[in-house]
Amino acid sequence: MGSHVPFLVEATLRDLRRSRAAGLGAFLLVFLAVLAAGSALILEENLERIVTGWREQVRIVLYLDEEPAQREEWLAGLRTLGGVREWRWISPDEAMGELHAYLGADGALLARLPSNPLPASVEIAPDPALSAVGLRALIRGLEALPGVEEVQGPGRWVEWAEGGRRVLIGLGLGLGGLLALVALLAVATASTFAGVAGREEATLARLVGATGATVRLPLILGGVIHGALGALAAVGLLVLAEPPLLRHLGPALREGLGLETPAFLGWREALALVLGGCGLGAFGGLLGGRTR
């Protein structure tokens, strides 16, 4: 194998020069494909954090028609329901006190009421990991508890948030997949140009004992180089964009969406993207190598 290294290096560099224009197009398309895939990964992680943060603020309130005679037995039934993280019992007097504090100076009007009209209630914090389907199932279970007159849940915004996240991630991955396919064809085209231009040299190499795999390997290596350079450029841009994005968008994300720590590429994601670009280039080079 060592005796073939100089030939492979020289042949790979020669093929890269031959496919210079097509290779530039392949590099740009791999760059765009990896950039779209990396952006989709960042978007997915941040959307997941945002939705999880919103879910942690979800509260379900049960209003009871009357306080149960055996509160502990009633709470035992509540504990059997899956998805309940925390709960807080609120007596009518506590509810009146909280309403009085909320109204402030206007709370003095409550003293004119002949009696306390507020019912006993239970405030429940569901598990943030519950999906929209799981949350609906929990609410149905709470409605079936004895003595429950009304259940106030988070509405349908959880479903909308999950659906919106899936749509955005699907669009990002779809764009990345489409660009990856186009990039694969571009690498294959660049390899084809180089393969056709070097066909006579490949024939001579075979005559002196080179195998078909040996004469095609420079085209595959050229594809790997195109893929690696495009992927490294895209990952480098995403990494370099992190500080200015945090500086300019961080406050808006924290105040508007509750995202305290935005996520960017970790080293594992960056390595996976670079390896993906190399694999894309290698496969494109393999397709183009059939010309030899």
The pLDDT of residue 233 = 95
pLDDT of residue 30 exceeding 50, the answer is yes
| Cβ contact 230:183 at 8 Å | yes
Q: What are the residue ranges of helices labelled H in 57-156?
A: 71-79, 92-103, 132-143
Question: What is the share, in percent, of the chain residues with pLDDT greater than 70?
Answer: 81
Alpha-carbon torsion, ordered 15, 20, 25, 31, to 10 deg: 70
Nearest Cα neighbor of 153 from 56, 55, 54, 61 is: 61
168-222: pLDDT as tens digits: 888 888 888 888 888 888 888 877 766 555 554 554 454 444 555 556 677 788 8
| Cβ contact 54:129 at 8 Å | no
Nearest Cα neighbor of 125 from 171, 180, 61 is: 61
227-268: pLDDT as tens digits: 899 999 999 999 998 888 777 777 777 776 667 777 788 889
Average pLDDT score, the chain: 78
- Return the beta strands (E) in 35-164 as ranges: 60-64, 84-90, 121-126, 148-152
The pLDDT of residue 1 = 45
pLDDT of residue 43 exceeding 80, the answer is yes
pLDDT of residue 9 exceeding 80, the answer is no
45-75: pLDDT as tens digits: 888 888 778 788 888 999 888 777 777 778 7
> Residue 94 — very low, low, confident or very high, per pLDDT cuts 50/70/90?
confident
- Antiparallel, parallel or unpaired: β 84-90 and 121-126: antiparallel
The pLDDT of residue 155 = 66
Angle at 242 between CA 240 and CA 248, to 5 degrees: 120
The pLDDT of residue 2 = 45
Nearest Cα neighbor of 126 from 161, 87, 152 is: 87
Q: Comparing 215 with 156, which gets the higher pLDDT?
A: 156
What is 237-286 written as a DSSP string?
A: HHHHHHHHHHHHHHHHIIIII--SS-----HHHHHHHHHHHHHHHHHHHH
| Cβ contact 118:67 at 8 Å | no
Identity of the residue numbered 44: E
pLDDT of residue 289 exceeding 70, the answer is no
124-151: pLDDT as tens digits: 998 888 877 888 888 888 888 888 888 8
Q: Comparing 12 with 242, which gets the higher pLDDT?
A: 242
Distance CA 223, CA 194 (A): 11
The pLDDT of residue 256 = 67
Domains and CATH numbers, the chain: 2-54+159-291 (no CATH), 59-153 (3.30.70.3040)
**Whole-prediction pTM:** 0.70
pLDDT of residue 226 exceeding 80, the answer is yes
Sheet holding 148-152, edge to edge: 84-90, 121-126, 60-64, 148-152
